[in-house]
Structure 1
Amino acid sequence: MKKYILFDLDGTIIDPKEGITKSVAYALNKFEIKVDNLNELCKFIGPPLKDSFIEYYNFSEDEAEKAIKYYREYFADRGIYENKLYKGFEDILISLKENNKVLIVATSKPTIFATKILENFNLSKYFTFVSGSNFDGSRVRKSEVIQYALEINNIKDLSEVVMIGDRKHDIYGAKEVGLDSIGVLYGYGDYEELYNSGANYIVNSVEELRALIMDI
């Protein structure tokens, strides 16, 4: 049975579409790049921001760093509150805590932002620890975030741990560290992405996720 449950944040616990896409659009506008359809920016949800600016807009390292600063200008004041909790997700957390599971958030989002989002939804009480990235760009890879969470919480038996996320970065990060993983399809990754990245389990909905966690 799994004792330690690691959750990605964006696309797994919350739907961050509005806040992230508006923040990205704000940053791109600083480079005179106009994006009228925010749906085009959903690809930024999940991966590290720097990688996405470089991959999708051919930014240099320096340009990507500047873009992240612009992104945070908007996100810190407004975007951080422009998200929604997935329906029924708090019920999962309640059930897991009642069954003595240890819940941890493992996200590439800066820890301070992740913590504020959880507090905004009154979810902090369910989590033992929040492992995120640093503002200086360190500990941004998902494997690094996961490893940090394991070290701080002194978790030795990896067979007792599972990582849950909606994108390939979550699955690859879990594999690099040696964890089982669950891919969720209600977020921003599709079946092909999660299957090809090697997810041990794939679920369609919050309800399926709840049933699976209680069974493994």
Structure 2
Amino acid sequence: MHILFDLDGTLVDSRPGIFNCIRYSMEHHKLPVPAAEDLLWCIGPPILESFAKLVGPDSPHLFEPAVVKYRERYSAIGIFECEVFPEILQTLEKLQQQGHTMHVATSKAEIYAKRIITHFEMDRFFASVNGSELDGTRANKAELIAHILEQQNIPREEVLMIGDRERCIAAGMDDYVVKPIKPQFLLDTVFRVLTEKNAA
């Protein structure tokens, strides 16, 4: 079985870095800075999509400059203002021991995703780390998943996505696990879904 993992909110708790960089950008552009609890929805979607909502339709000229300022801090500091969720490393190791092939599929820019995966020594678990380009190419999760399946020659019926339900459905995925509220239960959830799939 091939298993695709989302990154933000699934493998790592990236809230501090993302929130700090959003604040940095919003303050620079003299825009209202939302409270942390009002930024939770920004974990996962493409950053340009997030800023389009944060900035609002009255200032579309600020969408891309806001992203540029965000990345200014993110690439230097914010990228490592995160931590691996509890039990994720054990989960990945057990899945690898069971013979599953794992990949990262994130809307985050691929260059950042690879740095994070390597920094936390998770690269040994993944056959590939896949994300968007800085220009927004493959930021759409459905397009990204299709790209991974094509590049890795993976039949759609042999893949399980762990991440966002909405984006998995858009990609035509039949089997997926949404981001758990308590990441320590991820292993049991994955094993249950795989068992049900194998029994079908």
TM-score, normalised to structure 2, is 0.89
Give the one of 177, 191, 194 matched to 1:182: 177
Structure-2 separation of matches of 1:147 and 1:45: 22
| Deviation for aligned residue 1:214 | 4.8
Does 2:185 align with 1:205?
yes
Structure-1 separation of matches of 2:144 and 2:70: 21
Q: List gaps (5 residues or longer) in structure 1.
A: 188-202
Structure-2 separation of matches of 1:38 and 1:149: 33
Q: How many residues align?
A: 194
| Deviation for aligned residue 1:51 | 1.4
Structure 1 counterpart of 2:131, which letter?
A: G
Give the one of 170, 173, 183 matched to 2:167: 173
Corresponding position of 1:20: 18
Is this contact kept in 2: 1:21–1:39, CA < 8 A?
no
Corresponding position of 2:107: 108
Please give the secondary structure, in 2, of the residue aligned with 1:5: strand
Structure 1 counterpart of 2:66, which letter?
A: A
Structure-2 separation of matches of 1:34 and 1:57: 9
Is this contact kept in 2: 1:105–1:127, CA < 8 A?
yes
Q: Equivalent residues in 2 for 1:1-216 (5 A)?
A: 3-35=1-33, 37-59=35-57, 60-155=59-154, 157-165=155-163, 170-179=164-173, 180-186=175-181, 205-215=185-195, 216=197
Pair 213,37 (structure 1): closer, same or farther in 2 beyond 3 Å? same
| Deviation for aligned residue 1:159 | 1.4
Please give the secondary structure, in 2, of the residue aligned with 1:128: strand
Structure-1 separation of matches of 2:86 and 2:103: 20
| Deviation for aligned residue 1:181 | 1.2
Is this contact kept in 2: 1:186–1:206, CA < 8 A?
no
Please give the per-residue CA displacement for 1:147-198, whole angstroms capped at 9, x wherever unaligned.
111111011x211111111xxxx323322332221112327xxxxxxxxxxx
Q: List gaps (5 residues or longer) in structure 2.
A: none
| Deviation for aligned residue 1:213 | 4.9
Structure-1 separation of matches of 2:76 and 2:157: 40
Structure-1 separation of matches of 2:15 and 2:33: 15
Structure-1 separation of matches of 2:16 and 2:147: 29
Q: Identity over aligned residues, as a percent? A: 32
What RMSD over aligned residues (CA atoms) do the two structures have, in Å? 1.9
Structure-2 separation of matches of 1:64 and 1:175: 27
| Deviation for aligned residue 1:67 | 0.7
| Deviation for aligned residue 1:20 | 0.3
